[in-house]
Amino acid sequence: MTTSECRVCAGTVVEFCDFGKQPLSNAFVRPGAPDEEYTFRLAVGACAACSMVQLLEEVPPERMFHAGYPYLSSGSAGMRRHFRDFAEHLLAVELLADEGLVVELGCNDGVMLHRIAEAGVRHLGVEPSRDVAERARARGIDVWTEFFDTDLAARIRAERGPAKVIYAANTLCHIPSAPAILDGVRDLLAPGGIFVFEDPYFADIVAQTSYDQIYDEHFFYFTATSVARMAERHGLELVDVEHLDVHGGELRYTLARTGERPIASAVGEVRAAENRTLPAGPDELRSFQAAVDTSRRELVGTLRTLHSRGARIAGYGATAKSSTVLNYCEIGPALVPFITDSTPSKQGRLTPGSHIPVCPPSQFAARAPDHTLLLAWNHADEIVANERAYRAAGGRWIRYVPRVRVS
């Protein structure tokens, strides 16, 4: 068990869960003679002073987010709908007849901003991963291929003026220097402007033992309580919070400069619920490691039993999340010979660490596995509906969140 210095308050972060050495979740390997893979120790702790849950060891951002970063946000119909709905909300509520600027951090392939651009609203995407940023640009979106930080915030303000809305989906939790970034956000906001961000909700991770949300890119695991405390330290205030069903359960946080916006009742309600239900600190959170290890035992037991009976098993969705599951459970190509994924730059590669070949969806139909491990479980409704024929032909899905089950 180790400790580290809290990135929010410089207090002591005490470890409560350890996954050992792990590769980078999106570093898909070329088959042949793979180079030695970069690894780091994946362990999570909670700050005894401010309650922020965070990794104990951080990976340099440039190692994770670079020209070849493979994840495409537009890869699921559910997420395309989710971001379109949010863009429509902004257009209807926050940007009415306004010349305001919208800045998105981590805009990826432009899944949200393309609607804003289409509506003719002034906008800027900040996206350090070059290939995905190019995809956004090809859709008519203005993108800077850079890491957002306080210097960049000042440059945006100087060149484009203050922002009415700053948005970050599944991005703030990726940035270990997020607390410092909040200073940049505060100074970039126009009077009355808002910073909206959404990230996996730690309370959902605990409730569902969805430990696969824990990987290199997810540095912070936010709650309304920890976010409200972090915001206060940077002249910002948590003014609204909303639970989202996407990506296995997230919270959408709205921050404004202190005193500039009324505080919605949801903030107090969610914080009170966290007080009642979330383990209070690192000592109480140690039961999470036990739940993770039970889940691992059940999943490995299920796969080994099926394999010993001669079942042919595949995986569905070479997700970043699956890196933690496959490597922590030591599931390799002997148990799961291939994983299907629709992302072109993942296909033809091997999964990081576990070295399972990634194949295009056409292979899934052709190879007709008996059982399929649903690694993209957060997109289950969409995938199971699209693969009706697989189930109708007798194929079975294996899930592991919140419990291991075959159906």
Residues that bind ligand SAH (CB under 6 A): 61, 65, 69, 71, 73, 105-106, 108, 126-129, 132, 147-148, 169-171, 174-175
- Contact segment (CB under 6 A) with ligand DWN among 130-138, 270-278, 325-333, 373-381 equals 373-381
Q: Closer CB to Zn ion, residue 12 or residue 342? A: 12
> What is the C-alpha separation between 157 and 172, in angstroms, rounded?
19
Q: Closer CB to ligand DWN, residue 193 or residue 317? A: 317
Q: At residue 30, what is the residue type?
A: R
Site for ligand DWN in 345-364 (CB under 6 A): 346
Contacting residues for 205 by C-beta, under 8 A, at least 6 apart: 211, 213, 214, 221, 248, 249
> What is the C-alpha separation between 331 and 333, in angstroms, rounded?
7
- Residue 11, interface with Zn ion (CB under 5 A)? yes
Put the strands of the sheet holding 163-169 in their side by side order.
143-144, 123-126, 101-105, 163-169, 189-200, 250-257, 236-244
Q: Closer CB to ligand SAH, residue 128 or residue 315? A: 128
Cβ at position 242, least distance to ligand DWN in Å: 17
Q: Angle CA(289)–CA(217)–CA(401) in degrees, nearest 5?
A: 45
- Residue 50, interface with Zn ion (CB under 5 A)? yes
Q: Closer CB to Zn ion, residue 47 or residue 373? A: 47
- Residue 378, interface with ligand DWN (CB under 6 A)? yes
Contacting residues for 305 by C-beta, under 8 A, at least 6 apart: none
- Residue 321, interface with ligand DWN (CB under 6 A)? yes
Report what 128 binds from Zn ion, ligand DWN, ligand SAH, none; CB cut-off 5-8 Å by kind: ligand SAH
> Applying CB under 6 A, which of residues 318, 331, 335, 356 lies at the interface with ligand DWN?
318
> Applying CB under 6 A, which of residues 4, 150, 343, 345 lies at the interface with ligand DWN?
343
Q: At residue 237, what is the residue type?
A: E
Which two three-digit tokens encode residue 202? 């730690």
Report what 343 binds from ligand DWN, ligand SAH, Zn ion, none; CB cut-off 5-8 Å by kind: ligand DWN
Complete DSSP assignment for 334-360? TT---EE---TTTTTSB-TTT-PBEE-
Cβ at position 218, least distance to ligand DWN in Å: 6
Q: At residue 271, what is the residue type?
A: R
* Interaction mask 133-172, ligand DWN, x per CB under 6 A: -------------------------------------x--
Cβ at position 61, least distance to ligand DWN in Å: 12
Helix axis angle, 224-232 to 178-188, nearest 10° = 60
How many residues in the shown chain lie near ligand DWN by CB under 6 A? 21
Helix axis angle, 320-328 to 282-308, nearest 10° = 80
Complete DSSP assignment for 228-282? HHHHHTTTEEEEEEEEE-GGGSEEEEEEEETTSSPPPHHHHHHHHHHHHHS--SH
- Contact segment (CB under 6 A) with ligand DWN among 15-23, 40-48, 186-194, 312-320 equals 312-320
Report the SS3 class of residue 55: strand
Q: Closer CB to ligand SAH, residue 123 or residue 174? A: 174
Chain residues in the site for ligand DWN (CB under 6 A): 71, 75-76, 170, 217, 247, 317-321, 341-343, 346, 376, 378-379, 382-383, 386
